Chains A and B, each alone.
Chain A
Amino acid sequence: MNLAYRDIRHKLGRFLLTCVGLGLLLGVVLAMIGIYRGLVVDALTIARAPGIDIWIVEANTRGPFAEASRVPGDTREAVARIAGVAAAGSITYQTVEAPYRGEKLRLYVIGYEPTRPGGPPEIAAGRSIARNHYEMIADRSAGVSLGDRIQLGRNTFTVVGLTQHQVNSGGDPAVYITLPDAQKLQFDLAPPAARVQTARGAGAAARDTVNAVVARLQPNASAEAVAETVRRWKHLSAITQGEQETILSRSLVDRARRQIGLFTSLLLIVSAVIIALIIYTMTMDKLKQIATLKLIGAPDRTIVGMIVQQALALGFIGFALGATLIVNIKDWFPRRVVLEPDNVLVLGLIVFAVCLAASGLGVRAALKVDPATALGG
């Protein structure tokens, strides 16, 4: 005869309603953890997309994500000739707002050389860029479809391929276009401004500028040695892939990461307090019954067991409801929610520990009950 189970069954509706409430709260905690993880994953996605080993950026910068970086376009050729470099490619990044179906579509435009490193990691639908101009590969999160035509600057691009989960640290969907198109988009002056420059005798600004050069190394090459070679050129800095990821996760999204982390911690504390109060209230509702059980000879372990089992059942069911809810709706969030099994497991263990600790308040109240209170009215 399990008293905890029988008591729950007796007030099943109320118990399940409490579980649903707790489940929603734990679902929010899980969502925050997922958003936190998603933020980090998103920040690293674009940096990991090219599958390269070294980033060559403007001297004394930590570009191209954390800081602005501009390097000459011919840097790629110089880098490609360094011993140990298997391939190198030029790359540009910029954020634009493009008109799309009557609305503004915020896009993270990546310019790359289709035959060199720097492009999308894989195409989920459609094909790669095959022409030198006006073709685009867009991420599905932009909401565009194959064949859609999107205006960037003064040119219109056709979506020929789709990627999955390629967004920048701000959550803006990435689109890939050829490097010349990207350079034109980023560095060409608008016609009136160009005419003013021509009228005052200034030559056309050099357009062969990129934000970074990325390099893939040969299998046995040392990234650090290649980086050292690059750093000898005073106008360049070299950042290994590991360093770039550290910059992104520790610097670029650090404040947002800490903010979400702090909020998640607060939510966990609130959850703990609410679980403790629920268990305490459930126990207080049963003081007369507990007194009766004590009077008729029930040992403390029976009473403690009843309270702890109910606390754990509450936590387990609430957690299962919350996890099921979030797993099923996470793709509807505007930003990526990444829930790994280890995240769910860790939160499950935390909820287990919180329930155990929270039941302490109820157990304390139950153990203090005088069996004599069962006598009399």
Chain B
Amino acid sequence: MAEPANASPLVRIDRVSKHFGEGETRVDALREVSLDVYPRQVVALLGPSGSGKTTLLNIVGCILDASSGTMDLDGETVLRDGRWQRGDLRRLRLEKIGFIFQFHNLLPFLDATDNVAVVLKLAGVDMSAARKRAAELLDYLEVGHRRTAMPAKLSGGEAQRVAIARALANRPRIILADEPTAALDSKRARIVMDLLRKLAIEQEAAIIAVTHDEKIFDRFDHIFQLRDGRLDEPSAAADDPAEVPSG
């Protein structure tokens, strides 16, 4: 892919492979995949079922190890030759990675505010400060009026916005989204993607999304196609891709 000038990638994946099983049952989910994602970029991972999208997302999310290869997140080498370089991957996820799920995955027993605040609380922020930040994020995402609503009372779009607020709570620089618009109609899907693009720019974050949703392809800076565990050359998708930082 074209590398923006004067910028370091937030996610650098270098010849990462992953296989499951051995011998006749061996399945190569990823074959020497290399990928750089820069701040302010929103990229999509496409591919048919079994092409390795979710495997790659899990490796970037530090919830699945690789068989080989190296990965740097926010300038820190976290995976080298298929081995984790940090013991506390939970902390790494908490501090540097935000997750957005296909079905929002909000905790049903917490209201919108506390669903966001829980991430801050886990990071050690005291509860009143966590709730304040959560309220700010919900206002920013235009669901502030629903801050006391339980997830079951939120519409699909509102729930996904709360989930985005939760993903952003700790100001992560890397946001991983798994089919973020799959549960939304076209209009809401575009609104959510516009929101993610806005966040990527304003918060200097990199967003990697797995999606099959063709109606939002134009919202990505680059689309990476995975086939049989291999990454094709990226294609620029957005008419007006995000500006890259000047340094």
Contact between B94 and A297, CB atoms less than 8 A apart: yes
Report the contact-size class of chain A (Cβ under 8 Å from the partner). Answer: 20 to 34
Of residues 29 through 69 on chain B, the ones whose CB sits less than 8 Å from some CB of chain A are: 54, 57-58, 61, 63-64
Contact between A9 and B94, CB atoms less than 8 A apart: no
Question: Of the candidates A3, A288, A294, A375, which one forms a contact with B57 in the assembled complex, judged by CB atoms under 8 Å apart?
Answer: A375
Question: Contact flags (1/0) for B84-104 with A, using CB distance below 8 Å?
Answer: 000000110111000101110
Min C-beta distance of B246 to chain A, whole Å:
32
Min C-beta distance of B218 to chain A, whole Å:
25
Q: CA–CA, A18 to B50, complex, Å?
A: 43
Contact between A293 and B107, CB atoms less than 8 A apart: yes
Q: CA–CA, A146 to B118, complex, Å?
A: 70
Question: Contact flags (1/0) for B202-240 with A, using CB distance below 8 Å?
Answer: 000000000000000000000000000000000000000
Report the contact-size class of chain B (Cβ under 8 Å from the partner). Answer: 20 to 34
Q: CA–CA, A349 to B244, complex, Å?
A: 63
Tell me which residues across on chain B come within 8 A of A293, comparing CB atoms.
107
Min C-beta distance of B30 to chain A, whole Å:
15
Asked if A184 is at the interface of the complex by the 8 Å CB criterion, the answer is: no
Q: A372-B58, A372-B64 are in contact. Are A297 and B101 (CB under 8 A)?
A: no
Tell me which residues across on chain A come within 8 A of B166, comparing CB atoms.
296
Min C-beta distance of B52 to chain A, whole Å:
14
Of residues 271 through 313 on chain A, the ones whose CB sits less than 8 Å from some CB of chain B are: 288-289, 292-299, 302
Of residues 66 through 123 on chain B, the ones whose CB sits less than 8 Å from some CB of chain A are: 90-91, 93-95, 99, 101-103, 105, 107-110, 114, 117-119, 121-123
Contact between B109 and A296, CB atoms less than 8 A apart: no
Contact between B127 and A375, CB atoms less than 8 A apart: no
Asked if B178 is at the interface of the complex by the 8 Å CB criterion, the answer is: yes
Min C-beta distance of B79 to chain A, whole Å:
16
Contact between A298 and B107, CB atoms less than 8 A apart: no
Asked if A1 is at the interface of the complex by the 8 Å CB criterion, the answer is: yes
Q: CA–CA, A7 to B115, complex, Å?
A: 12
Contact between B109 and A371, CB atoms less than 8 A apart: no
Question: Contact flags (1/0) for B117-149 with A, using CB distance below 8 Å?
Answer: 111011100010000000000000000000000
Min C-beta distance of A297 to chain B, whole Å:
3
Residue contacts A-B, CB under 8 angstroms, 21 given: A3-B109, A6-B109, A9-B109, A10-B150, A289-B107, A292-B105, A294-B90, A295-B63, A295-B99, A296-B94, A296-B118, A296-B122, A297-B95, A297-B122, A298-B122, A370-B63, A374-B99, A375-B57, A375-B58, A375-B102, A376-B54
Q: A10-B150, A372-B63, A374-B101 are in contact. List 9 more A-B contacts (CB 8 A).
A: A3-B107, A288-B105, A289-B107, A293-B107, A295-B93, A296-B118, A299-B122, A372-B58, A375-B178
7 tightest A-B contacts by CB? A297-B94, A10-B109, A7-B109, A292-B105, A375-B178, A6-B109, A297-B93
Interface residues of A (CB under 8 A from B): 1, 3, 6-7, 9-11, 288-289, 292-299, 302, 370-372, 374-377
